[in-house]
Amino acid sequence: MGQMVNIVQNNVMRITALFLLIFIGNFVLSPVVAQDRYVLVIHGGAGTILKSQSTPEQEKRYKESLEQALHAGQLVLQKGGQALDAVEAAVRVLEDNPLFNAGKGAVFTNQGKNELDAAIMDGRSLAAGAIAGVTTIRNPISTARAVMEQSEHVMLTGLGAEQFAKEKGLELVDPSYFHTPERWRSLQRARHRDSLDNLKKSQLPLAKEEAMLIRKEKYGTVGAVALDKHGNLAAATSTGGMTNKKWGRVGDAPLIGAGTYANNLSAAISCTGWGEYFIRLVMAKSICDQMEYGGRSLQDAANEMVLKKLPALGGDGGLIAVDKEGNIAMPFCTEGMYRGYIRQDSLNGPIKKEVALFKN
Amino acid sequence: MGQMVNIVQNNVMRITALFLLIFIGNFVLSPVVAQDRYVLVIHGGAGTILKSQSTPEQEKRYKESLEQALHAGQLVLQKGGQALDAVEAAVRVLEDNPLFNAGKGAVFTNQGKNELDAAIMDGRSLAAGAIAGVTTIRNPISTARAVMEQSEHVMLTGLGAEQFAKEKGLELVDPSYFHTPERWRSLQRARHRDSLDNLKKSQLPLAKEEAMLIRKEKYGTVGAVALDKHGNLAAATSTGGMTNKKWGRVGDAPLIGAGTYANNLSAAISCTGWGEYFIRLVMAKSICDQMEYGGRSLQDAANEMVLKKLPALGGDGGLIAVDKEGNIAMPFCTEGMYRGYIRQDSLNGPIKKEVALFKN
């Protein structure tokens, strides 16, 4: 009888201890692992991307490349890593891929150089880092992150940014690393066209295909946004800018608020398109503000900016975004946008993945 | 009697014609001259500006300099000129004045150079122009305007921006033009302090005055915002950046949305302070968005950003702003801000003017 009581008492104590452990465990872990959902969205540029002009092989190459980038970011997010690490990992894959206008594969300036820009932002702290106009940094997104984490500054430019990268031990390459034959041909076409005077241009209107090719070659950016299992948001964008650009032109990609923004209170956003219009609208921050101060949904705010205000001003392009609830937006007002996402909404739930190039 | 009738008829016709003229005149002119109100607000930087540390002579010099800049902008606005011309004119005066950290009087970089940044924006069209990291352009604000009006771009940097200025016939100077003895001494002090290692710094805590002096010397910007008689808004900002800056650092001044923004639907804003924090908050655009999407007043939005969100993040500084109704805001969370405004609220109404340096 005494033994029975002891067994019961022991079991009660065990069960109590177990509940206590679960309670404490939850209490301790809850601020760290807030949810089991993670989302990663990426883009490889928006522009004249038409199914009628793509071969199945080309389409396959782009899709496989997007999937590689998604995979790199997912590896981080799946195991409970940071959104910041995931967007950096995904963008590095796209930077290393010559198909996209960022890192290797960057377009050429008017002077035949590859000048790269990048920005990254942490939605937890509003910490941000950016570089512009660099020619020897293999992965600009990682230097942007070093600016954020290892300097007092947000934005470094030109030779100074390269000196910083060198001091911090980041990988530098000879400028010839960025030289790809396809982008070089693009520059020659753009130079030829820009050398024609206006009279000749109007007398010799471009064939529609040629005009679309030039447009396609002029812009391009890569980017990633993520929501991690801890509920944190991050955004990253990297680009080679505009083919045949002159005068040290900087687009929206490295400008915090224009091409890149992340705030845990609203959303993480990365833009691509005709940079000047994204700067004038301060695109990414405007969407976050409409959510935070105007009570709009991510989808409504993103659609209004990209499908209405951007074309009304004369610009075009698109963006990717994820909000704190895991909602995704990928609007664009061009023919297509290289894009994809991967997400898991609960611990053992299905992993959803999609990559796309054209309009649905 | 017949003559009497004729005189009456003539007078009736004259009066009718006069009324008709006034009616047509109003009809024709009303879209152009929407109101007779104009407002110009300027700043010359925020920071450690204390009455206890200023001599009456210094105070007088700063006040007279601010009044000169107000006068230059008022000349434009009084006669019905554009807000854009007024802010450019006011900023040029401040750029030419060695008292302020912009144009002549710019602080030195770590390498002993003067690298200048500027931005301008037109609230009518959201057109914008900016340059960063230039060393030979006498009036950066006028080159920023040329970028806006004479290029397809918004932002040009470094040697490219200088090449652009040369092509457009803007005034270039030898870099020695920007060399002022006071700023050179500031660099030596900053270099000395930055060369001390952290141990020494902690062993030799700075005297309060010395710390304030360093802080005062580190930042500084000039700017102007205006509402013209046609109801249009414009903003302009120009700076030499941060004393002893390295690595091609760019602050908020030339970043559209961060240090400078103008939109006829909301407000025109120019910021000054610890640039990195203004970039992370995208300060100027955030205030415009809170007005446009959140229905807040300029004063409420500006106060919340400058007096709450900015210090909460660890930054400091101030801004000047005017909205489409002519309301002014000039909040700052530093000891002082060089600032002033001039306004006339009706055609023959009194002209109100005020310049101030310290907290009220």
Give the separation between CA A153 and CA B346, rounded to whole angstroms: 45
Look over chain A and give the mean of its residue pLDDT values, rounded to a whole number.
88
Is some CB atom of chain B closer than 8 A to the CB atom of A311? no
Residue A16 clears pLDDT 70, i.e. is over it: no
**What is the C-alpha R_g of chain B?**
23
Task: Check if the beta carbon of residue B145 is closer than 8 Å to that of residue B120.
Answer: yes
Q: Which two tokens stand for residue A287?
A: 């969407």
E strand map for chain A = 38-47, 116-122, 127-134, 155-157, 222-227, 233-239, 249-250, 260-262, 267-273, 317-323, 328-329, 336-344, 351-358
- For B:183-242, CB contacts with A below 8 A are none
B128, B132, B286 ranked by CB distance to A157: nearest = B132
Does residue B61 sit at the A interface (CB-CB below 8 Å)?
A: no
CB atoms within 10 A of CB A295: 11
> pLDDT tens digit string along A132-167?
999 999 999 999 999 999 999 999 999 999 999 999
Contact B256 A255 (CB under 8 A): yes
Work out the average pLDDT over B113-126: 96
Of A158, A257, A313, the CB nearest to B285: A257
Does A11 reach chain B within 8 Å, measured CB to CB? Answer: no
pLDDT digits (tens, 9 = 90+) for B149-188: 999 999 999 999 999 999 999 999 999 999 888 888 888 8
- Among B255, B296, B305, the residue to mutate for chain A (most A Cβ within 10 A): B255
Tell me, yes or no, if A321 comes closer than 8 A to chain B by beta carbon. no
Rounded to a whole number of angstroms, the distance from the CA of B294 to the nearest CA of chain A is 5
Q: Taking a C-beta distance cutoff of 8 angstroms, is the pair A223, A42 a contact? A: yes
Residue B1 confidence (pLDDT) above 70: no
The pLDDT tens digits for A95-120 are: 999 999 999 988 888 888 889 999 99
Instruction: Inform me whether the C-beta atom of residue B168 falls under 8 Å from chain A C-beta atoms.
Output: no
pTM of this structure: 0.88
Q: Would you say the C-alpha torsion B144, B148, B149, B150 has a positive or negative sign? A: positive
What are the backbone angles phi and psi of residue A239, rounded to the nearest 5°?
-155, 160
Q: What is the mean pLDDT of residues A312-328?
A: 97
Reported as a pLDDT band with limits 50, 70 and 90, residue A200 is low
What pLDDT is recorded for position A238? Answer: 98
Q: Give mean pLDDT, residues B318-340.
A: 97
Residues composing chain A: 360
- Tell me: pLDDT of A57 over 70: yes
Average pLDDT of span A168-190 = 89
Residue B45: its H or E element: strand B38-47
Residues B285-320: tens digit of each pLDDT: 999 999 999 999 999 999 999 999 999 999 999 999
Long-range pairs of B306-315 with CB within 8 A, sequence gap ≥ 24: B306/B331, B306/B332, B306/B333, B307/B331, B307/B333, B309/B281, B310/B273, B310/B277, B310/B278, B310/B281, B310/B283, B313/A126, B313/B277, B313/B280, B313/B281, B314/B277, B315/B273, B315/B274, B315/B276, B315/B277, B315/B278, B315/B281
When CB atoms are compared, the residue of A159, A247, A258 closest to B161 is A247
Q: Are A73 and A80 in contact (CB under 8 A)?
A: no
Task: Say if CB B228 and CB B77 are below 8 A apart.
Answer: yes
Q: Is the pLDDT of residue A292 over 50?
A: yes
- pLDDT reading at A316 higher than 60: yes
Give yes or no for A175 touching B (CB within 8 A).
no
d(CA B320, CA B326): 12
Residues 254-283 of A with CB under 8 A from B: 255-258, 261, 275-276, 279-282
> B303, B329 in Cβ contact below 8 A?
yes
Please state the rounded mean pLDDT for residues A314-319: 96
**Contact (CB<8Å) A285/B290:** no
Kindly tell me if the per-residue pLDDT of A211 is higher than 60.
Answer: no
B105-116 b/e (C-beta count within 10 Å ≥ 16 → b): bbbbbbeeebbb
* Span B103-115, average pLDDT: 88
Q: Do B281 and B313 form a contact (C-beta atoms < 8 A)?
A: yes
